[in-house]
Amino acid sequence: MSLREIKKQKTAKEFMEAINRIVGKQPECKELRQKIKSGKSLKLNPTNVEKEAGKAYGSTRHHASVLREIERINDHNVAKEAVYSQGVIGLKVKTKEKNKEIKALKEKLRGKEVEVEMLKRVNLNLHSHCLELTSALFDMIPQEERKDLFERQITMKSDNVTSFKRDK
């Protein structure tokens, strides 16, 4: 193995260690630590890897394996975000559907409440009409027959009732 290949492998190893530190959010580079402290997100890209490894700008372009690793990690993170956003979108769609269903059920409930109120008014009118009709019919019965009418109804209803006499 030539000296050039050994140095290239050593540099690639330093880049991989830098990638691991960036992914673990534990950079050694002062500039990247300040970025994390200020609350900014630390992106995994070739420039940040070069800074973290202490190498010159553009030096990662000679290391295809390092670039593939950066791309693989970023693609994995994008895939996670895509799955997450698909889940969120699905939940939003379900929420909209449920809200429409709730709105339709509320409208149906309002219609039923209006119908119940109308039926209560109709029932009240029917009862008052029935009372008037009963009073008018009762007034048409002669006074002598009214007493017999009630006694006859009482005796008809008491066929199955046994009466007990009280001892005084």
For residue 62 the two structure tokens come to: 């000679």
Assign 3-class secondary structure to 111-130: HHHHHHHHHHHHHHHHHHHH
Tens of pLDDT, residues 1-56: 788 888 888 888 888 888 888 888 888 778 888 888 888 877 787 888 888 887 88
Tens of pLDDT, residues 118-131: 999 999 999 999 99
- In the chain, domain spans: 8-155
**DSSP secondary structure string for all residues of 39-99:** T------HHHHHHHHT--TTGGGG-HHHHHHHHHHHHHHHHHHHHHHHHHHHHHHHHHHHH
Tens of pLDDT, residues 63-94: 888 888 888 888 777 666 666 777 777 888 89
The reported pTM is 0.45
